[in-house]
Amino acid sequence: FDDITALVAAQRSAAWADVARRIAHEIKNPLTPITLSAERLRKKFAPGEGTEERESFDRYIETISRHTRDIGRMVEEFVAYARMPQSVFREENLVGIVKKAVFSAQTANPDIQYAQTLPSDAVMVSCDEAQLGQVLLNLLKNAAEAMEGREGKRISITLAREAGSATLTIEDNGPGFPADKIDTLTEPYVTTRAKGTGLGLAIVKRSIEEHKGTLTLSNVEGGGARVVMVVPVV
């Protein structure tokens, strides 16, 4: 018997990419006219300032605009998944890429404690620096969002070099991954959030696979989520 798991996963991914392309095309076209129409309504038909009617009118227009922006962000994820940019590989220091991503995440989330354990020496990998940096930002963003509303939020980032590979481990002290979905969370359109498209981790996984690496999700004993990324070193 041949193990065709990877082949089936690749075929499923290609099929979902085609679905994403079609959805993005159908949804994207009317977004601009909706946004422009809402702004024209605001300018032309808004009641006088300070009236109760004006407050209601502005609230209705803002609701249209806000939901249009939400849909626009979803479309961007569909496009990103369906049309991954061509990678440009160079030898880069993974330690530096991790530091930049953590700095950006820390700036955006000052209420979270970020603990880094990184090698003192360079860890050179062949990668597209922009893509790999975005992968790390997405993983850190997911961890931060999972801990919303909690006290004592903490994310640990550990990078270790082993024989022929580098292992990056990101752990948080949030609620962890749902046990019934943990095996499917990297598949397209599987999400645990009400407004999520389910494409974030799917895009991350595709990027890491482009770098000949692997992505593993698990839960930390006692609470929290763990994401392990392994990529080859040069």
Q: What is the mean pLDDT of residues 3-28?
A: 62
Structure confidence by residue, pLDDT tens digits, 147-200: 988 999 999 999 999 889 999 999 999 999 988 888 878 876 556 665 555 567
Quick check: 127 and 90 in contact, CB under 8 A? yes
What residue type is assigned to position 207 of the chain? Answer: S
Per-residue pLDDT tens for 107-158?
Answer: 989 999 999 999 999 999 999 998 899 899 989 998 999 898 899 999 999 9
**Residue from 42, 97, 38 nearest 229 by CA:** 97
- Using pLDDT thresholds of 50, 70 and 90, give the confidence band for residue 6: low
pTM above 0.75, yes or no: no
pLDDT at 85: 59
Strand order in the sheet with 113-117: 113-117, 154-162, 165-172, 225-232, 214-219
